[in-house]
Amino acid sequence: MVSIAGITGVILFLEIRDSLYMPPADHGSQKVAPWNDPKVRSVVFQFVALITLGYFFYTIFQNTLANMERRGITTGFAFLGNEAGFGILMSLIPYDETYTYGRTFFVGLLNTVLVAGFGIVLATVIGFIIGVARLSNNWLIAKAAMVYIEVLRNIPLLLQIFFWYFAVLQALPSPRQSIAFGGIFHLNNRGLYFPSPIPEAGFSYVIWTLVVAVIGVIWLRRWARRRQEITGQQFPVVWVSIALIVGAPLLVFALTGAPLAWDHPSLQRFSFGGGGRMIPEFMALLWALTMYTAAFIAEIVRAGIQSVSHGQTEAARALGLRNSPTLRLVIIPQSLRVIIPPLTSQYLNLTKNSSLATAIGYPDLVSVFMGTTLNQTGQAVEIVGMTMAVYLTISLLISMFMNAYNKKIALTER
Amino acid sequence: MKKITIGLLGATAAFSMMMGSVQAGTLDDVKRKGSLTCGVSTGLPGFSNANSKNVWSGLDVDVCRAVAAAVLGDAGKVKYTPLTAKERFTALQSGEIDMLSRNTTWTHTRDTSLGINFAGVNYYDGQGFMVSKNLGVKSATELDGAAVCIQAGTTTELNLADYFRLKGMKYKAVVFDTSDQSVKGFESGRCDVLTSDQSQLYALRIKLANPGNAVVLPEVISKEPLGPVVRQGDDAWFNVVKWSLFAMVNAEELGVTSGNVDSMKSSANPGVKRLLSGDAGKKLGLNSDWGYNIVKQVGNYGEAFERNVGKGSALKIGRGLNALWSKGGLQYAPPIR
Ligand SMILES: N[C@@H](CCC(=O)N[C@@H](CS)C(=O)NCC(=O)O)C(=O)O
């Protein structure tokens, strides 16, 4: 171990030294021996460093396995194929006790992705609204936004989760005394119950109409933009899009005789059964993550908007743009360049913070897989490794996506 | 917090395993440190619970105290590490604690694949259900469709699934990290049922704002032999923990109590002599007064039982399965000879 570290150290030193004392780039026709050629040297050293590093991790891995074996701790991934034997409160894919531990991994993973995905979208929307409100000329709105930001980002997230879960959602009435909204939705301390749709024959037409409408809208936007560039004429894209996407499927729905039935939840011995249901654990976690992250996003948005110089606003005014188009067409596009990089870190934070789910029993990856599955099988190293790999992958995907978006909106010099 | 702890424990476990350090025997370690680090629950009245002055007491705590009395001659020299069900085995594997005494069920998987050994059974338990009175449920067979609060990382989770599957019933498991949270969930009505080892239900019931509102159903759906746990591969330490517990049970059988142990020292009964003096201690690597210290400072098994979970406590649990074998129970210790 020590020797490996030593070798790595020496190589790093040589590399640094090489990069510091790099001779002038142009050697002319001068012949250099390969071991003195900085190019060859750096490639060789980097290669050796890579091999050493690889060997280092390989040794750690083998050592760990061997030591665990010696201590009588089972290792390997065979457990993933064994029957799990425990129930999970909420699953997006079919699951019951007879499925495998491997399946519990995916159940937890999807629950994590679900809460993080919704959280990112909601936090972005709310964060933008509050960030803009913070700069409002209306004193009341600006101060309200400021209070929101200061309160929410200064209270630890875990406390906020507990607050929403134990103080708000658990204080709701029991199923028998549910709060009913028009007899359709039922809210109680077991969650929000709603009718779930059951498609009947002919419903696929509605779906297909929707797909065609979406494609149509994409085409329409391109056409409208090109027309505006050529002729300067504007086309009411937004209204026509909404009409197409909402109206066309509705029309087909009516024409095919409303081929959709609803499964209404009904009160049973202990609680509601049938229909769809949003569990309070999900609501509390989603809400807390959203509100908390939105406070940070609002500050980022504010900073972004303020970074656009006032001259831009004045220029827009001089062109005759009103308030809202100025914001939408001039300020926001420029401020996005400042907003996107820190926004990415907020998305990453939100995703990682979603693992606080275990505190209130929302069955996310950490709670299900690194919690129950780990405890039933005891294979800590494998399971913690897999879980870390998942968070790393999700984070890298978000970063990649956001970086690509950042590139796209970056200032293109003409 | 919990997550961070478990992460740290995991990292320590992985790291110490990586290094493959050959630890000195735990017995020498404890003697050198002058204190025993014992893993207990985060708070379960009767078994391991801290009062407002952070003094721990309970049946499980008494096992820790007995081991400290045997090894260090002072039952007070214990450092308690509160652990949730999820954290406990990692804490033991990584060497963070010297022993675990936290209402832990002895099962095949745990014994064979976690690198740990169970050093006996200090409480024979079984899983039960607690429901709120106004539901009017009389039997566990009426629980179809119920929402059930349980604690993560327990045998309870698996038994529950088995039982409901066997009876062809459905349930919704709401899984919490600590018993405080599950009790809160039960109290606020998030679940209809709280399930756990039956003794623990009685213990948790006294934590409720209104204990009279909850009833424990008659069904016992599993076997839960609870006992102290040590790391595998350290036989000397395994013996010390095992025989400290056996000494308590043997003392009860021989009629030696914390009250009469001084006069019993001169007893003519050879069994009593071997417990209180003699060379049994030396064979364990301890002083010859190890048994005396246990009985004097902690008491025999029966005393510990009555004080913590029996008549002398708020739980008022009868001896039942935990009576001595000679009184119709299961508590039976191999002889000291
Ligand atoms: N005996 C079972 C269950 C043990 C258990 O953790 N029970 C809960 C009762 S709800 C407990 O003691 N909680 C106390 C704590 O979280 O510290 C096992 O070994 O898995």
pLDDT at B8 over 50: no
* ipTM value for the complex: 0.79
User: For residues A274 and B264, what is the distance between their CA atoms, to the nearest angstrom?
Assistant: 69
Q: What is the pLDDT of residues B51-107, one digit of tens each?
A: 999 999 999 999 999 999 999 999 999 999 999 988 899 899 999 999 999 999 999
Give the N- to C-terminal CA distance of chain A in Å, as an integer: 56
Share of chain B above pLDDT 90, in %: 77
Are B244 and B281 a contacting pair, CB within 8 Å? no
Q: Using CB atoms, which residue from A63, A72, A367 is nearest to B152? A: A367
Say how many C-beta atoms besides its own lie within 10 A of residue A223's C-beta: 12
Among left, alpha and beta (phi > 0; psi -120 to 50; other), residue A182 is left
Q: What is the pLDDT of residues B239-263, one digit of tens each?
A: 999 999 999 999 999 999 999 999 9
How many angstroms away from the CA of B81 is the closest CA of chain A? 19
Q: Does B185 touch chain A (CB under 8 A)?
A: yes
Query: Chain B 307-336, CB below 8 Å of chain A: which residues?
Result: none
Q: Does B113 touch chain A (CB under 8 A)?
A: yes
Q: Where are the domains of chain B?
A: 11-123+226-327, 127-222
pLDDT band at A20 (very low <50, low <70, confident <90, very high): low
pLDDT band at A414 (very low <50, low <70, confident <90, very high): low
Average pLDDT, chain B: 91
Give the N- to C-terminal CA distance of chain B in Å, as an integer: 48
| Distance (Å) of CA A252 to CA A131, A205, A210, A249, A349 | 40, 7, 10, 5, 43
CB contact under 8 A, B147 and A190: yes
Q: Indicate the CATH number of B127-222 among 3.30.450.20, 3.40.190.10, 3.40.50.300, 2.60.120.10.
A: 3.40.190.10
More confident residue, A81 or B180: A81
CB contact under 8 A, B135 and A74: no
Kind and range of the H or E element at A191?
strand A191-194
pLDDT at A5 over 80: no
Q: What is the pLDDT of residues B113-145, one digit of tens each?
A: 899 999 999 999 999 999 999 888 999 999 998
pLDDT at A128 over 90: yes
Amino acid at A235: F
Q: Indicate the CATH number of B11-123+226-327 among 3.40.50.720, 3.65.10.10, 3.40.190.10, 3.30.420.40.
A: 3.40.190.10
Query: Chain A 333-352, CB below 8 Å of chain B: which residues?
Result: none
Q: Closest Cα partner for B163 from B187, B129, B123, B133?
A: B129
User: For residues B10 and B14, what is the distance between their CA atoms, to the nearest angstrom?
Assistant: 6
Q: Where are the domains of chain A?
A: 37-71, 101-195+264-409
Fold assignment, A101-195+264-409: MetI-like fold (1.10.3720)
pLDDT band at A380 (very low <50, low <70, confident <90, very high): confident
Q: Using CB atoms, which residue from B3, B20, B112 is nearest to A358? A: B3
pLDDT of residue A6: 55
Q: How far is ligand 1, taken at its centre, from the CA of residue B103, in Å?
A: 6
**pTM, entire model:** 0.82
- Name chain A contacts of B171, Cβ cutoff 8 Å: 87
Asked if the domains B11-123+226-327 and B127-222 are classified in one and the same CATH topology, the answer is yes
Site to substitute for ligand 1 among B191, B200, B206, B229, most atoms within 8 A of C-beta = B200
